[in-house]
Amino acid sequence: MQSRIFKTAIAAFAAGSAHAAAAELALNDAGYYETRGLNVLVFSNWYDSLFSDSKISGVEIIHHEERTATNGDVRLSATPGQWDPIGRLLDRTIDPERGTIEATLAYPEYDFTYVIRAEARDDGVVLSVNLDAPLPEALEGRAGFNLEFLPAAYFGKAFIADGKSGLFPRYPASDMGPVENGRAEPLPFAAGRSVTLAPEDPERRVVVRSSRGEIALYDGRNQAQNGWYVLRTLIPAGETGRVVEWTLTGSTIADWVRPPVVSYSQVGYTPAQPKVAIVELDKNDRPAKTARLLRVDADGGVETAYSGPVEPWGAYLRYNYATFDFSSVTTPGLYVIEYDGARSAPFSIDKDVYATTWRPTLDIFFPVQMDHMFVNEAYRVWHGEPHRDDALQAPVDHEHHDLYRQGPTTDTRFKPMEHIPGLNVGGWFDAGDYDIRTQSQYATVLSLVAAWEEFRIDRDTATVDWNRRYVDLHMPDGAPDILQQIKHGTLHLVAQHKAVGHAINGIVEPDLDQYTHLGDASAKTDNLVHDPRLKPGESKNGRSGVKDDRWAFTNKSSALNYGSAAALAAASRALRGYDDALAEEAFAIAARVWDEERSHPPHLFRHGNTTGGPLEIEEFNAAVELLATTQDDKYARRVAELWPAVEDRFSLVAPMALKAAPFMPEDYRAKLESAARAFKAHTDEIARANPFGTPITTGGWAGAGAVVEFAIANYVLHRAFPEIIGDEGLFRGLDYIFGRHPASNLSLVSAVGARSKEVAYGTNRADFSFIAGGVVPGVLIIKPDFPENKENWPFLWGENEYVITLAARYLYLAAAADALAHREASSAQPR
């Protein structure tokens, strides 16, 4: 292929390429600079999620349909981390006639305002930092214009800085500067007025030239494993106007077309369900007219099972889409899709295709997430027993970096920094980190109980011994694994109520040094309760002078209390006959919490996402679970009273609302039927909105969770109202999770399907690895129109972080699909 270069001065770097006319970047209607093979975004995105730096803002580069650079902005260090300061975006203006974008930002704490300006020129984009007033003295030598490049996009590639060449380091090995305030910054490994990245590769070549001042090249991974390569020019002191100016150019491949992505379920299909593959196409591509479904026999031979048209669907986001419908094929067997000469990975058509899809989640993911337990798998230890020293009472009026906050009181009998006994039992690591977020704990228990009660999953592959605090995978112990997981979550919820009398916000590491720990969770603390009377490093009678214990955030929240009560009531049903004592204790707490909460105005403490969901929904859930447990009319009356407050969020409460139906008056079912009809109209709108037929969210956390909830709501409503809701919504949702989504065709469940997520944001993310059965958030929409789920970089938590709540909901959904497939297969048999 020939390459075309935006700047003729770098054409010589394109070995073997012919000179071509310069292809100009132009400002498009979507508000970013575009030419074939290259986009430059300028503050199209902002940090609209939970943390300061989520690698989706500032100046960004999408190069041959991979986002390779981000965070082009003024920063206060060379390799800033996730919690380091960022400017505040005040304004963004676009001038289409001049081809310029200007973003005004400020660091209010320094009384510092600046403007980043971008303008298209024949040779690329000129980026500048503009000041009306000189840099504040406190920021001299600190503030600079940074642009971060994805390391995985440049592994194995070279750079040239003012004529001096080198290779990008595969592993961080930079010299480090002096330690100041407990932190050392890496020193640059290259510098110059002109820096070329990947001069040998026209697909990744980028040239950045500074009209004044030097550009330094840093490796942010010396600071943290999730760091990127950073280009940086310091802002000079005492100057105003255009204080930094870079010209950014990039190379593209002539007539480049992104290869088509054929997305389909990596798991396969039941004979009866719809089977539609989606072809995602570059806007310069055209769909093939036909595709084939090939059946593979035991000897490796293939035969055409179906050949049919590829139907154009239309445009969505930045791509065009087409569909290949092979629903008419119902014969069980092994198949591949052939499109435009390329073949897919194999998949099955079989009534049992979903039978094992939930197993890795139950067998591996949930045991690995178990806190307060040693977890072993054959020759591998996933982690030792962590957090035996839980937990210290969090100090008052303290805002934590991870969405927790302690208000002006503790709402407990414990003084700030006093040990709260009894919290070192049960619970799961919430996500790719090691905290226990109570809202996640009770939501997970509720989902696991629902799966147990509806599908009676009696699989036994693990030994769980709470006396020894020991888990051994692939070693059956005679008890259903799902009941053991329900018990483990219940143990921690019960422990909270026994320790302080109510549900707490959660337990989390006190500082960033511990919070960012990667590796064996048991190495985070000394597992000895902190005793302030002992010196640092001193230990005595099982206590330690090391102040490394996690903190418990304990303010009362009625939403949390109701959510916890709902899970405890549900668990009490599931645990009967397995652990009757715990079942009784769980129910007694749930009933007590309900009565106490109903006796006073609600506690409305709210902060981040750690203090419960909407109060009405949490109370509704508690009323339903207590009603299902007791069939007491007082709970039925409260369900009816709360219905108007939750009806407009029916898609979120549908499973719980239907659970109450057998215990409610006849008019309640009529209300559910009306809501189901409205839901059907909503799902029809979703089916028309994009080619995948599922909700696709656009926030800073990708939307696999929304898809799973959509599919579950369709399932439970199909069961209750089959004349209104068909089964297609469930299967569309599962198809999405198993690979039929934008950007790629990977299954979003690690180790499930022929091709799945193998690089994810779990506690082992530094190893570029995965935890089997974990479910990632999935495809993130980089505004305005770029769908992304990186497989070569696990550290983008908004795309790749496992969370226990999604895993539990997925487990329920996969079991539901298997049950539905067998019901439909049975009903299809001749009588």
Confidence class for position 122, pLDDT limits 50, 70, 90: confident
CATH of the domain at 174: 2.70.98
Q: Does 576 lie in the same domain as 452? A: yes
**What's the confidence (pLDDT) of residue 152?**
98
The C-alpha atoms of residue 694 and residue 483 are separated, in whole angstroms, by 32
CATH of the domain at 305: 2.60.40.10
Is 379 exposed, middle or buried, given 0-12, 13-18 or 19+ CB atoms closer than 10 A? exposed
CATH of the domain at 506: 1.50.10.10
Last residue of a domain, one of 630, 660, 677: 630
The C-alpha atoms of residue 418 and residue 168 are separated, in whole angstroms, by 49
639, part of any domain: no
Q: Does 321 lie in the same domain as 458? A: no
- Residue pair 489/566 in contact (Cβ under 8 Å)? The answer is no
Q: Does 301 lie in the same domain as 413? A: no
Q: Does 565 lie in the same domain as 694? A: no
Helices (H), 519-665: 558-575, 580-598, 615-630, 633-646, 650-660
Q: Does 151 lie in the same domain as 48? A: yes
Q: Does 273 lie in the same domain as 246? A: no
Task: Supply the mean pLDDT for the chain.
Answer: 94
**What's the confidence (pLDDT) of residue 826?**
67
Domains held by the chain: number = 4
- DSSP classification of residue 523: G
Q: For residue 442, which of 804, 168, 125, 144 has the smallest C-alpha distance?
A: 804
560, part of any domain: yes
pLDDT per position as a tens digit, 470-495: 999 999 999 999 999 999 999 999 99
**What's the confidence (pLDDT) of residue 474?**
98
Is the model's pLDDT at 82 over the cut of 90? no
Beta bridge partner(s), residue 58: 72
**What's the confidence (pLDDT) of residue 830?**
42
Distances in Å between the Cα of 630 and the Cα atoms of 32, 591, 618, 641 are: 59, 10, 18, 18
What domain range is 493 assigned to?
367-630
**What's the confidence (pLDDT) of residue 48?**
61
Q: Does 206 lie in the same domain as 325? A: no
Q: Write phi, then psi, for 468 (nearest 5 degrees).
A: -90, -10
Q: Which amino acid is at 598?
A: R
Q: For residue 311, which of 277, 334, 265 has the smallest C-alpha distance?
A: 277
Q: Does 419 lie in the same domain as 566? A: yes
Is 331 exposed, middle or buried, given 0-12, 13-18 or 19+ CB atoms closer than 10 A? exposed
Q: Does 210 lie in the same domain as 276? A: no
- DSSP classification of residue 377: E
**What's the confidence (pLDDT) of residue 383?**
98
The C-alpha atoms of residue 572 and residue 499 are separated, in whole angstroms, by 19
Torsion of Cα atoms, 518 then 523 then 529 then 534, to 10°: -110
**What's the confidence (pLDDT) of residue 14?**
36
Percent of the chain residues topping a pLDDT of 90: 92
**What's the confidence (pLDDT) of residue 54?**
87
Is the model's pLDDT at 53 over the cut of 90? no
Last residue of a domain, one of 194, 220, 253: 253
Residue that the structure tokens 């039941």 belong to: 270
Confidence class for position 248, pLDDT limits 50, 70, 90: very high
Distances in Å between the Cα of 367 and the Cα atoms of 373, 380, 442 are: 9, 13, 17
Is the model's pLDDT at 154 over the cut of 80? yes
789, part of any domain: yes
Q: Does 272 lie in the same domain as 247? A: no
**What's the confidence (pLDDT) of residue 824?**
72
Confidence class for position 20, pLDDT limits 50, 70, 90: very low
249, part of any domain: yes
481, part of any domain: yes
Q: Which amino acid is at 443?
A: A
pLDDT per position as a tens digit, 156-182: 999 999 999 999 999 999 999 999 888
Percent of the chain residues topping a pLDDT of 70: 96
Q: Does 657 lie in the same domain as 524? A: no
Q: For residue 28, which of 117, 116, 120, 102 has the smallest C-alpha distance?
A: 120
Residue that the structure tokens 């969020």 belong to: 649
Last residue of a domain, one of 600, 630, 660: 630
Residue that the structure tokens 């494993």 belong to: 225
User: What is the rounded average pLDDT of the residues 759-765?
Assistant: 96
**What's the confidence (pLDDT) of residue 23?**
58
pLDDT per position as a tens digit, 366-396: 999 999 999 999 999 999 999 999 999 999 9
pLDDT per position as a tens digit, 767-787: 999 999 999 999 999 999 999
Our separate counts of H helices and E strands in the chain read 16, 46
pLDDT per position as a tens digit, 680-731: 999 999 999 999 999 999 999 999 999 999 999 999 999 999 999 999 999 9
Is the model's pLDDT at 582 over the cut of 50? yes
The C-alpha atoms of residue 275 and residue 816 are separated, in whole angstroms, by 18
333, part of any domain: yes
Could you give the angle at which helices 704-720 and 804-828 cross, rounded to 10 degrees? Answer: 40
Residue that the structure tokens 């790719």 belong to: 432
Q: Does 274 lie in the same domain as 132? A: no
User: What is the rounded average pLDDT of the residues 741-755?
Assistant: 98
Q: Give the H or E element holding residue 74.
A: strand 66-75
Is the model's pLDDT at 3 over the cut of 70? no
Q: What radius of gyration, in Å, describes the C-alpha atoms of the chain? A: 28
642, part of any domain: no
Confidence class for position 12, pLDDT limits 50, 70, 90: very low
- DSSP classification of residue 810: H
820, part of any domain: yes
Higher pLDDT, 122 or 329: 329
Q: How many CB atoms lie within 10 A of CB 119?
A: 17
User: What is the rounded average pLDDT of the residues 540-561?
Assistant: 96
User: What is the rounded average pLDDT of the residues 576-589?
Assistant: 98
- DSSP classification of residue 258: P
Confidence class for position 4, pLDDT limits 50, 70, 90: very low
Is the model's pLDDT at 2 over the cut of 80? no
DSSP code string of 121-174: ETTEEEEEEEESSPPPGGGTTT-EEEEEE-HHHHTT-EEEETTEEEE--SS---
Distances in Å between the Cα of 74 and the Cα atoms of 59, 189, 218, 428 are: 11, 21, 15, 39
